[in-house]
C-alpha cells in the first residue's frame, strides 16, 4: 500500500559525515550516503529519497557539504536548484537543519521532518505511518521525534525516555528526557522498562517552532539563520558565525525539559549502518559469508561474515568466522565484526601519515 502524500510537509535530508568506520568504502571525498551499501542498486541517499517521495512529493531539500553538492545532484537529478543547500563548512546538525528550517519558513512550509541520508529502513509503509502521526502532532506545535524501537541494549545510541500518550494523538507520547549513550548495563535497564527508544535524529516540527525553540536558547543563532534565509548572499559571511552544536543539545534536550517534545514510537526496522558489523548484520545470515558486490569475485571456504569485492580482483577467504574483508582499488581492509568499530583508528592513522589520498 503506497503511503499518502502529506500536504504542506517537507523533508530535510542532512547528508554529511564521512562514515570513517566504513572505510575504505566510505571516504571523506565519497561518504557513505553516496554508496550502495545494501546491494539494492541504489545508494543510501537514493533509498532515502525513494522512501520519502511518496510522502512529500517533490518537497525535499538535501543539506550537504559544498564538496558533495555535485555528487548529490548526480544521484538526485530531479532536485530543483534550491533543493540542495550547500554548507560552506561542516558546522554540526543544528546549523545544517536550522538553515533548512529558515529557508523553509521563508517558503511557507507548514511542517518539516529531518531524516539522515545514510540510514536504512526495512518497512517504508510503517515508517510513513509513523511520520504521518508525527506531522499531525507537529502541526499542534510539538517538536516530535520518531523513537526507534530498540532491538538490543546498544551503547552506541542516545535514548529517548518516553512518557504518557499525547491528548488527541493516540500514537504519540510525550518525551520525559533525552539521555546520552549509556553503558550496556544501563541500556539493558532501559530496555527492561519498555519506555526507552533509540534517538535516530528524526525530528518533525514546524520550521518556525524549531527556530523559535532555538531562539529561546541562542537568539543570535536563530537570527543569523533567518538572516541567511532572507538574504542568501550573506550565507558565506554569516555561516562561519554559527555555533558547532548538535540539534539534540541545542534544542531537543532543553525543549524536552520544558515539556515541548513528543515522540512517535517507530518499529519499521532501522539501522544507521554505523560500521561493518552493523552492515553484516543488516545484510546476511550469521553462518554464511555475505558478498556485497559480484559473487563471482569471492571464493569462500569455511567462513562467515562479509566480503566486499570492490576492485574487480578475486577475493579468497579461508577459515575465518565473522570476518570483514573490504577490497577497493587503492585500499584493503581485513577485520572482524567484533573489531569493526576500530576501523576509524586506521583512518586516523592514515591521516596522521598524510595519506589523505586514502581517507
Contact footprint for its own copies (CB under 8 A)? 23-24, 299, 301-302, 311, 313-320, 323, 325, 327-336, 338-340, 342-343, 345-346, 349-350, 355, 358
Q: Least distance from C-beta 24 to its own copies, angstroms?
A: 7
Minimal CA–CA distance to 265: which of 118, 188, 160?
160
Q: Least distance from C-beta 28 to its own copies, angstroms?
A: 15
Q: Which is nearer to its own copies, 165 or 299 (CB)?
A: 299
Three-state secondary-structure class, residue 230 = helix
Q: Which is nearer to its own copies, 4 or 342 (CB)?
A: 342
Q: Least distance from C-beta 317 to its own copies, angstroms?
A: 5
Three-state secondary-structure class, residue 203 = strand
Q: Which is nearer to its own copies, 5 or 342 (CB)?
A: 342
Q: Least distance from C-beta 332 to its own copies, angstroms?
A: 5
Q: Least distance from C-beta 278 to its own copies, angstroms?
A: 16
Q: Which is nearer to its own copies, 1 or 318 (CB)?
A: 318
Q: Which is nearer to its own copies, 6 or 323 (CB)?
A: 323
Run of H or E including 264: strand 261-266
Q: Which is nearer to its own copies, 230 or 314 (CB)?
A: 314
Q: Which is nearer to its own copies, 242 or 340 (CB)?
A: 340
Buried b (16+ CB within 10 A) or exposed e, 225-253: bbbbbeeeeebeebbeebeebbbbbbbbb
Q: Which residues, including other chains, have CB under 8 Å from residue 219's CB and lie 6 or more apart? A: none
Could you tell me where the beta strands, DSSP code E, fall in 111-212?
111-114, 120-121, 143-148, 159-166, 169-179, 196-205
The rounded distance, in Å, linking the Cα atoms of 286 and 54 is 34
Buried b (16+ CB within 10 A) or exposed e, 265-304: bbebbbbbbbbbbbbbbbbbeeeebbbbbeeebbebeebb
Q: Least distance from C-beta 331 to its own copies, angstroms?
A: 4
Q: Which is nearer to its own copies, 185 or 329 (CB)?
A: 329
Q: Least distance from C-beta 106 to its own copies, angstroms?
A: 46
DSSP β-bridge partners for residue 217: none
Minimal CA–CA distance to 32: which of 50, 16, 47, 48?
16
Q: Least distance from C-beta 5 to its own copies, angstroms?
A: 45
**Omega within 30 of 0 (cis) for the link into 206:** no
Amino acid at each position: 500500500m503506497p503511503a499518502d502524500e502529506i500536504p504542506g510537509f517537507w523533508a530535510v535530508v542532512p547528508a554529511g559525515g564521512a562514515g570513517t568506520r566504513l572505510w575504505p568504502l566510505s571516504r571523506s571525498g565519497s561518504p557513505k550516503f553516496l554508496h550502495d551499501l545494501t546491494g539494492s542498486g541504489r545508494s543510501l541517499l537514493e533509498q532515502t529519497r525513494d522512501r520519502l517521495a511518496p510522502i512529500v512529493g517533490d518537497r525535499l531539500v538535501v543539506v550537504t557539504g559544498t564538496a558533495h553538492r555535485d555528487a548529490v545532484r548526480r544521484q538526485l537529478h530531479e532536485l530543483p536548484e534550491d533543493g540542495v543547500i550547500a554548507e560552506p563548512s561542516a558546522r554540526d546538525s543544528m546549523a545544517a537543519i536550522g538553515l533548512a528550517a529558515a529557508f523553509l519558513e521563508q517558503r511557507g512550509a507548514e511542517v518539516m521532518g529531518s531524516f539522515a541520508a545514510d540510514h536504512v529502513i526495512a518497512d517504508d509503509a510503517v515508517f510513513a505511518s509513523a511520520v504521518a502521526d508525527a506531522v499531525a502532532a507537529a502541526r499542534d506545535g510539538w517538536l516530535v521525534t520518531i523513537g526507534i524501537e530498540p532491538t538490543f541494549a546498544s551503547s552506541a545510541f542516545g535514548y529517548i525516555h518516553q512518557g504518557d500518550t499525547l491528548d488527541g494523538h493516540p500514537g504519540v507520547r510525550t518525551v520525559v528526557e533525552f539521555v546520552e549513550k549509556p553503558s550496556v548495563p544501563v541500556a539493558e535497564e532501559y530496555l527492561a522498562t519498555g519506555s526507552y527508544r533509540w534517538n535516530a535524529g528524526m525530528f518533525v516540527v514546524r520550521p518556525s517552532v524549531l527556530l523559535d525553540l532555538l531562539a529561546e536558547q541562542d537568539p543570535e543563532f536563530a537570527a543569523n539563520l533567518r538572516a541567511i534565509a532572507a538574504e542568501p548572499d550573506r550565507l558565506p559571511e554569516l555561516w562561519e558565525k554559527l555555533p558547532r552544536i548538535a540539534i539534540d543539545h541545542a534544542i531537543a534536550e532543553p525543549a524536552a525539559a520544558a515539556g515541548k517534545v513528543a515522540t512517535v514510537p517507530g518499529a519499521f526496522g532501522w539501522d544507521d549502518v554505523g560500521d561493518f558489523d552493523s552492515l553484516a548484520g543488516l545484510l546476511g545470515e550469521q553462518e554464511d559469508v555475505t558478498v556485497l558486490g559480484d559473487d563471482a569475485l569471492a571464493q569462500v571456504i569455511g567462513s562467515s561474515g562479509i566480503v566486499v569485492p570492490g576492485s574487480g580482483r578475486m577475493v579468497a577467504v579461508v577459515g575465518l568466522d565473522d570476518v570483514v574483508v573490504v577490497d577497493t582499488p587503492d585500499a584493503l581492509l581485513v577485520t572482524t565484526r567484533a573489531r569493526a568499530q576500530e576501523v576509524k583508528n586506521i583512518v586516523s592513522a592514515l591521516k596522521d601519515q598524510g595519506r589523505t589520498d586514502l581517507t
